[in-house]
Structure 1
Amino acid sequence: MAEAAPETAGETAAETPKKKPGWGTLFRSLRNPKSGYMALFGFASGLPFALFLGTLYAWLSEAEVELETMGVFSLIGLAYAFQFLWSPLIDKVTIPGFSKLGRRKQWIVPAQILLGIILISLSLSNPTDSNMGWFSLLAGIGALASATQDIAINAWRIDVADEDATLDILSTVYQMGYRLAALVGGALGLIIAARIGWPQTYLVMGAILLVIGIAGLWAPDAKVGDPIEGEAEDELLLSLRRKGELEPAIRARALMAVGLLWAVSIGGVLTFMFMSLTYAPEERPNPTDFTITWGPWIIVATVVIPALIAGWLASQKKQGVNLLTEDLPPRASNSYAADHLYRALVMPLVEFVGRMGWSLVLILSLVLTYRICDAIWGTFAYPFYLGELQYTNDEVAFASKFFGVGAIIAGLAIGGYLITVIGRMATLTLGAILAALTNLLYADMARGGALMQAASDAIGFSALINFMAPFGSDALPRLTFTVMWENLAIGIAGAAYVAWLSSIVSKKYSAVQYALLSSLTLLVGTLGRGALGEMIEDRGYYWVFIFTTAIGGVAVVLCIMEWIREKSSGRAAGVVTPDPKVVPAE
C-alpha cells in the first residue's frame, strides 16, 4: 500500500461544513479545553524567553557581574535561533518513561518541569564571578529546554486543532499567552524584583512553570504510535520498500548527503558551545558574529541544499525514474535504521517540496519578508526612542512595555476575530498592509511627530495618556499613539501569520517543517540588522522607515499571490479538518 496522502493543518472547505463565522466561532473555540491549554502552553513558552534573554541580565547587572564572564550566556540566543537542528527528534524519538504522556507532551511536560526546577535552582544560587560557571550552565540548559518545548508546543497546536478549537484560534491564543508571559517575565518581573528581590522573583517564576507542567498532564494529545494520517509508523516505513517507491540506493545517497550536511551544521554549533564554555573570557567567540557569519551557511546546509535534493527525489518519483519494480523483502536492522533516518531528515522536505512544487519559491519569499521589518527593527527601537527622540527610560517602558503589550494582545484578539469572519488569507494580507503603513507613522516621528501629535490630540488620546502617565513629557502621547498603532498591526499580522505558517505544514512532519520555516524568519532578521544599521548611519531614521515600508509592500504583493495560489488549489481560508486520532491522554 502506498503512503497516505499528506494531511496538512489547513484543508479544503468542502471536507468540513463551515459554521457561521464571527463571534460564535470565536466563543466556541475559546470554550474548548484545548484553547485553555494552548494559553497555558503559550505562557510557558514566552516566560523562559523573557527571563533568560532579558530579565536575567538585569539581575546580573545589579550583582555587578561583568558580561565577559558569562560564558554560557552567549549560547542562550543561539538555542532559539538554531532550534530546528534538533527538531527531527521531536517528530521521531520516543522518550523512555514519558511516552504515556502523549506524542508531544512527552517533550512538553518534562521540559516545563525541568525549566521550573532550573529557575528555582537559579533563585538559590548567587550570581557572582566565582559562581558564574554553575549559574550560566543552568541558564544555558534552560535555554535549550525552552527552545525544545517551543518546537513541541508548535507541533502540538497543529496536531490537536479541529473544527471547534480551530488552528487559527489556537494560534492566536498561543500568541496571547506568549505576549502576556513576556510582560510578566519582563517589565513586571523588574517591578516584582525591586520589591521582593531577584531570588524570590525567580522562585515565583519557577513555581509557575512547575504548575503549568503539572496541569499539562491533562492536556489532550495523540498517543505515541497513534497514526496521525492513517498508518502506523512501521507501516509507513514498510511502504518505502514497496513497488513504485524510490530505490534504496537512491534514498541512501540522498540520506548520506543530507545527513552529512546536518552533521557538519550541528558540529559547528557544538564547537561554538565548547569554545564558549572552555575559552578564556577575552577569547570567547561572539554569538552575534557567529550567527551572522555561519547562520547563512547553516541555513544553506540544512534547508537550501536538502530542499534541492528533496526536489530532485520528488521529480524522480513523479517521472517514474529509479523506482522499485517489485516489493523488497523485509529489511535488515541496518536498513531499518537507515529508513528511520531517511524519514526523520529527508522525508519532511521531500513531502513539503513535493506537495508545494514551484509554489515553494513563493512561500519562502513570503516567509522571508512578512516579518522582516519587525525582526530587524527590534534591535534599533530603543536607540531610536532614547537616543534620537530623547525619551526617558520610564516613558519608553510605559509606551512599549505596558501600553504596547496591551495593544499587541488587543491586535491578536482582533486578528483572531477577523480570521473567523473574512478568512485567514484576507487577514494575512490586511495585516501586511497595516504593518507596512505603520512604518510611515515612525517616519513622521523621525521628522518631529507633528502628525502623530495632531492625531493624538484630535481624538483625546493625549489627554488620556497625560492622565495615565503624569510623569511623562508632553511628547509621550505621540510616542504611545504611534506604538499603539504599530503593535495593533503587529498583533493582527502575527495572528494570521502563525496560523498561515501552521496551516501549510504536514501533520506528519509538523515539528520539523514548522521549526525550519519559523527559524528562517528569525535568522533573516539577524542577518539584516548590520545592513540596516549602516543605512541608519548613512541616511537617518526617516529614510530607513520609508525603506521598510517598501519591504512591507513587497510582502503585501506576495500575500496576494499566495492568496490566489490557495484559492486555485482549493484550500480553505480557515477551516481545519478534525483529527479523530487526537484523544485525551490517559
Structure 2
Amino acid sequence: MAEAAAETKKSKPGWRTLARSLKNPKSGYMALFGFASGLPFALFLGTLYAWLSEAEVELETMGVFSLIGLAYAFQFLWSPLIDKVSIPGFRKLGRRKQWIVPSQILLGVILIALSLSNPTNEAIGWFSLLAGIGALASATQDIAINAWRIDVADEEATLDILSTVYQMGYRLAALVGGALGLIIAARIGWPQTYLIMGGILLAIGIAGLFAPDSKAGENVDGTVTDELLLSLRKKGELKPSVRAKALGAVGLLWALAIGVVLTFMYMSLAYAPEDRPNPTDFTVNYGPWIIVATVVIPALIAGWLASQKAKGENVMTEDLPERAGNSYAVDHLYRALVMPLVEFVGRMGWSLVLILSLVLTYRICDAIWGTFAYPFYLGELEYTNDEVAFASKFFGVGAIIAGLALGGYLLTVIGRMATLTLGALIAALTNLLYADMAAGGANMQAASDFIGFSALINFMAPFGSEGLPRLTFTIMWENLAIGIAGAAYVAWLSSIVSKKYSAVQYALLSSLTLLVGTLGRGALGEMIEDQGYYDVFILTTLIGFVAVVLCVFEWIRVSRAGAKSGVVTPDRHDAAPEPAE
C-alpha cells in the first residue's frame, strides 16, 4: 500500500511534475539545444537581410540568400544520414551528439567568419557561400536535435516537457537573433553583433559535449545497427530481391528529388540575376512533386512491403548467410531509406491517413498567415514599424513563451491529446479576433479597456497610437494560443515516431507542415486581394475547426491503441509503443 501511495504521489500531475522534469539535466541541455536551433534561423533568414540592406547590396543579389530557406524546407532529404551514418572522429560523442556538436561549432565558426567578411556587391560570393554552408549546418543540427529529444526522453524528463522546453529556447533565440540583434547592431555594428552570436554558439557546442546520449551505432533500446541489419536476413523477412526492387524505386525517387534541388541551387548561384529562378515559384511548383517522390510514393511502397510481410508473402523460408559485397551495401541503403517508412506505415496502418491529415491541417493557419501578418499590420491597419515591433516582437514573443509554459503545464495535467485538441480549438478561435480587427477592432478595444490592458500598454509604450493596445491585445491572445498548440503539437509529433528511426520519420512529418503553408500562400493572397482580410480570417477559422475534429479522432485512436497494449493513459507516455521485433 505504501509503495502504491508513493507511486501515486510521484506520478501526480501538475506543477510538481513540471518542476521535477525541469530540474532534470536533460531539460537544461534541451533549452540550450533549442536556443542553438533557433538562433541561426533568425540570423540567416531575418537579421542578415538587415545587414545586407545597410551594406547597400542589390535586391537581385540578395535574392540568392533566399536559397538558405531551402535548407530548412527540404532538410528531410539528408535525414537518413543522421540516423545511419557515423562521423569519423566524432563517434565517441554519441549517436546524435556526433552531429549536433560539430554542427554547432561549425555554425559558431561561420558566424565569426561572417563578422570578418565584407558583404558588398563585389565580395558577396564568399559571404553567400558561408551563409549557405551555415544554413546546411543549421538544418542538420535541427534534424539531430529533434531526434535527440525523442531518444533521451524518459519518465522524469518526459517527451512533453522536453518538447516544450525546446520551443522555449527556440523562441528566445528568435528574440535574441531578431529584435535584440537589431538593437545591438545599431549600437556596436553588424560585424561585432555576429561575432557575439558566433561566440554564443561555440559556447553551446562546448557545453553540448557533456549532454547525455546513446552510443554511436547503438539504438536507444540497446540494440546496435548491425543487429538490425542482420535481422533482414532472418527467416520470415522479405526476400532480398523484393527489398532490392523497393530500394531501387525509392532510391531513384530520392536521387531525382535531390538532383532537382541541387540543380535549382546551382542555377541560382551561377546564373545572372535576371535569369535566376524564383525560390518561391520553385517551392510552389516543385515542392509538392518532391514530397510525392520522397514521401507519398515511398509510403505506398512501404505499405505494400509491410502487407507482404504481414501476409507471409515474398518472405524467406530460411536464414541467409551473412551479407557481403553488394548485398551488404543494399542492406545498408534499405535500412536508411526504406525501413523507416516500412516501420511507420506498418505500425500505423490505415491510421496513417488520419495522422497525415492532422499534420497537414494542425498548423496550417499559422504557416499561411505568417507571410501576410506585416502587410496586414502595416498596410491594412496602418500601424507604424515601432508599434508592430513592440506588439509582435517584444510583447508577442513573451506571450508565446508564456503559452508554451502553460502548454507544458497542461500536458502534465490533462494529457497530450487533450492539450492537442484544446490547442487546435483556441488557435482556430483566435482567427476571429483578427477578423474583428479587420472590421475595425471595436470588440478588441472594448475588451482591452475593460480589463485595464489598454492602460498598461499606454504606460509601457507611450510612443504608440490609440489603437496599439487592441493590436497588442489581439497578438497576445493569438501567441498564447500558438504557444499552447505548439507545445502539444511537437510533443504529439515526437510521440508517434519510432525511436529507432526518429531522425527520418520526424523530419519527413515536420516537412509536410512547412510545405503546406508555402503552397497555400498563393491562394490566400489572391483571396485577400479579391475579398479582403475579414473573409480570410473566417476561412482560416473554419480550417482550424477541421483540425479540431481530426484531433478528436486521433485522441480516440490513441486511446484505443493504449487500451489494446494495456497502457492506462497512453497520451501521457513518452513515446508511441515500439512494434514487436
TM-score (norm 2): 0.96
The code of the aligned residue for 2:58 comes to E
User: 1:94 aligns to what SS in structure 2?
Assistant: coil
For 2:572, give the aligned amino acid: G
**Which residue of 1 is the match for residue 283 of structure 2?**
291
Q: Report the equivalent of 2:404.
A: 412
Matched, 1:494 2:489: no
Please point out which of 308, 318, 322 is paired with 2:300: 308
* 2:248 pairs with 1:250: no
* Contact 2:497-2:576 at 8 Å conserved across structures: no
Question: Which structure 2 residues correspond to residues 110-125 of structure 1 after superposition, within 5 A?
Answer: 110-125=102-117
Q: Deviations over 1:145-171 (max 9, x none)?
A: 000000000000000000110000000
Equivalent residues of 2:45, 2:66 under 8 A apart: no
Deviation at 1:24, TM superposition (A): 1.0
User: Does residue 1:369 correspond to 2:361, yes or no?
Assistant: yes
Alpha-carbon distance in 1 for matches of 2:169, 2:179: 16
| Separation in structure 2 between the aligned mates of residue 505 and residue 331 of structure 1, nearest angstrom | 29
Give the aligned partner of residue 534 of structure 1: 526
CA distance in 1, matches of 2:227, 2:270: 46
Q: For residue 583 of structure 1, what is the aligned residue in structure 2?
A: none
Q: Equivalent of 1:325, from 317, 321, 326?
A: 317
Moved more, 539-548 or 276-285: 276-285
> Post-superposition shift, 1:567?
0.3
CA distance in 2, matches of 1:253, 1:229: 30
Counterpart check, 1:237 vs 2:235: no
User: Shift in Å at residue 577 of structure 1?
Assistant: 7.1
Give yes or no for contact 1:40–1:177 (8 Å, CA) kept in 2: yes
Q: How does 1:139-178 map to 2 (within 5 A)?
A: 139-178=131-170
Question: Are 2:251 and 1:259 equivalent residues in the alignment?
Answer: yes
- Is the Cα–Cα contact under 8 Å of residues 102 and 223 in structure 1 kept in the other structure? yes
1:71 and 1:133 in contact (8 A); partners too: no
| 1:538 CA displacement | 0.9
Q: 1:392 aligns with which of 370, 384, 391?
A: 384
Q: Unmatched 5+ residue regions in structure 2? A: 1-6
Query: What corresponds to 1:348 in structure 2?
Result: 340
What is the correspondence of 1:172-211 to structure 2 with a 5 Å cutoff?
172-211=164-203
Does residue 551 in structure 1 map to residue 543 in structure 2?
yes
CA distance in 2, matches of 1:277, 1:415: 43
Q: Structure 2: how far apart are the matches of 1:224 and 1:153?
A: 15
Structure 1 outlier segments of 4+, above 4 Å: none
Q: Distance in 1 between matches of 2:323 and 2:46?
A: 51
1:335 aligned to 2:327?
Answer: yes
Question: Which residue number corresponds to residue 573 of structure 2?
Answer: 575
Root-mean-square deviation over aligned CA pairs: 1.3
Percent of aligned positions with the same letter in both sequences? 85
Task: Tell me the residue number matched to 1:97.
Answer: 89
The SS at the match of 2:186 is helix
Looking at structure 2, the residues matched to 138 and 115 of structure 1 have their Cα atoms a distance apart, in angstroms, of 10
Partner amino acid for 1:217? L
CA distance in structure 2 between the partners assigned to 1:298 and 1:457 by the alignment? 50
Render the CA deviation track for 1:482-508: whole Å, top value 9, x for unaligned: 000000000000000000000000000
Once residues 71 and 534 of structure 1 are traced to their aligned partners in structure 2, the CA distance between those partners, rounded to angstroms, is 23
- In structure 2, relative to structure 1, the CA distance for the partners of 1:98 and 1:72 (3 Å cut) is farther
User: How far 1:78 sits from its partner (Å)?
Assistant: 0.4
Q: Please give the alpha-carbon distance, in whole angstroms, between the structure 2 residues aligned to 1:57 and 1:227.
A: 41
Equivalent position amino acid for 2:430 in 1: T
Q: Read off the aligned partner of 1:28 and give its amino acid letter.
A: R
How far did residue 228 of structure 1 move? 2.3
Match of 1:442 in 2: 434
Asked whether the 8 Å contact 1:172–1:499 carries over to 2, the reply is yes
Q: Quick check: 562-571 or 442-451, which moved more?
A: 562-571
Query: Deviation digits for residues 249-283 of structure 1, max 9, x if unmatched?
Result: 11000000000000000000110111112111111
2:70 matched to which residue of 1?
Answer: 78
Deviations 1:88-134 (A, max 9, x none): 00000000001111100000000000000000011111110110000
How far apart are the structure 2 equivalents of 1:559 and 1:578?
16
Aligned length: 564
Distance 1:331 1:151 in 2: 30
SS at match of 1:513: helix
Q: SS state of the match for residue 571, structure 2? A: coil
Alpha-carbon shift at residue 232 of structure 1 (Å): 1.9
Cross-structure match for 1:217: 209
Alignment of 1:476-495 (within 5 A): 476-495=468-487
**Contact conserved, 1:162 with 1:578, CA < 8 A, in 2?**
no
- Residue 270 to residue 451, structure 1, CA distance change in 2 (3 Å): same
When structure 1 is superposed on structure 2, of 565-574 and 411-420 the one drifting more is: 565-574
The structure-2 alpha-carbon separation of the partners of 1:437 and 1:248, relative to structure 1 and needing over 3 Å to count, comes to same
Contact 2:412 2:572 in 1 (8 A): yes
**How far apart, in 2, do the equivalents of 1:147 and 1:540 lie?**
36
Q: Secondary structure at the match of 1:221?
A: coil
Please report how far the alpha carbon of residue 231 of structure 1 lies from its aligned counterpart in structure 2 after TM superposition: 2.5
Aligned to 2:4: none
Q: For residues 74 and 179 of structure 1, what CA distance do their matches in structure 2 show?
A: 21
In structure 1, the residue matched to 2:46 is 54
Q: Residue 338 of structure 2: SS of its match in structure 1? A: helix
Does the C-alpha gap of structure 1 residues 195 and 153 become closer, same or farther in structure 2, counting only changes over 3 Å?
same
Shift of 1:576: 2.3
Given that 2:364 and 2:516 are in contact with CA atoms closer than 8 Å, whether structure 1 keeps it comes out as yes
Aligned equivalents of 2:82, 2:225: Cα separation in 1? 15
Unmatched tracts of structure 1, length 5 or more: 1-15, 580-586
Task: Give the drift of 1:230.
Answer: 4.2
